[in-house]
Amino acid sequence: MGNKNKTISFRVSQEKFETLRGIAEERDISLSAVFRDYVDLLVAHDGQVEVVPEHEISESTEGSDSESFPPKVEVPKSFVREHERLELEAEHLREQLEEHKRYVTKLRQELDEYDQEDVVHLDELDGEQSEEDSPYRIGNDFEDSQF
């Protein structure tokens, strides 16, 4: 199926539409691009996006230097190392899988190259038994053996 774009439509008031058009003109992009940017941002942050006017952003960041955007989180080195180890292991497993696939393909090609006459079926051998080939008996035959 692939990667198909979908269309989303919704209604806004005339006033909000004009505001959005103004934003698009200010940024020198199409109105559709404004919505695509917003949707991309929304998806990237798992729906945790709040639309705030610019003047409110500048006021809120001036008062608190401790909070920066985007928020930063410290991750323990052990977590990073474990993640890197798992990535390496996954890469190694992918390589092994590719090697196995190549080997199986090679075996199938070799099998296809052999003539069917070279293949011996065990069922066919059972039917070709001659008189001199007597079936084997397992166990002791007390008449022939002497103690």
Phi-psi region of 119 (alpha: psi -120 to 50; beta: other; left: phi over 0): beta
Residues 26 and 58 in one domain: yes
133-145 pLDDT per residue, tens: 556 666 655 555 5
Residue 32 counted as domain residue:
yes
Question: What long-range pairs does 95-104 form, CB within 8 A, spacing at least 24?
Answer: none
22-80 pLDDT per residue, tens: 888 888 888 888 888 878 888 888 877 777 777 777 665 555 555 666 777 888 888 88
Residues 19 and 42 in one domain: yes
Segments forming the whole domain that contains residue 104: 77-114
Residues 47 and 86 in one domain: no
Residue 1 counted as domain residue:
no
Predicted structure pTM score: 0.33
- Is 96's pLDDT higher than 90? yes
Transcribe 31-55 into DSSP letters: HHHHHHHHHHHHHHTTT------HH
**Percent of residues, the chain, with pLDDT higher than 70:** 69
Residues 19 and 56 in one domain: yes
Residue 128 counted as domain residue:
no
Tokens representing residue 115 in the block? 């003539």
